[in-house]
């Protein structure tokens, strides 16, 4: 889990659109994001997308929900 959050945060800090597709703790994760906005965030096919411009703390809390 910690490795997943670090990897997504590194992508977030690039300031460009990013994506992540993989298995984390046995769950199928798909992300398309820009900064802290997770436009697409699915966990085992269930939508968990976020609002635009959430705080970094809220962003990390959302990632930890998997």
Q: Is the pLDDT of residue 66 over 90?
A: no
The answer on pLDDT for 30 being more than 90 is: yes
Q: Mean pLDDT throughout 21-34?
A: 96
**What letter does residue 16 receive in the DSSP assignment?**
S
Looking at residue 1, its pLDDT comes to 85
Distance CA 54, CA 3 (A): 21
Enumerate long-range contacts of 42-49, CB under 8 Å, 24 or more apart: none
As separate numbers, helices (DSSP H) first and strands (DSSP E) second, the chain gives 2, 4
Q: What confidence tier does 40 reach under pLDDT thresholds 50, 70, 90?
A: very high
Give backbone dihedrals phi and psi of 23, rounded to 5 degrees, phi first. Answer: -105, 125
Q: What is the pLDDT of residues 3-19, one digit of tens each?
A: 999 999 999 999 999 99
């Amino acid at each position: 889990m910690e490795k997943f959050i670090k990897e997504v945060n590194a992508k977030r800090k690039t300031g460009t659109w990013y994506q992540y597709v993989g298995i984390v703790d046995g769950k199928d994760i798909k992300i398309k994001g820009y900064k802290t906005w997770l436009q697409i965030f699915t966990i085992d096919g269930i939508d968990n997308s976020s609002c635009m411009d959430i705080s970094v703390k809220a962003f990390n809390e959302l990632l930890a929900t998997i």
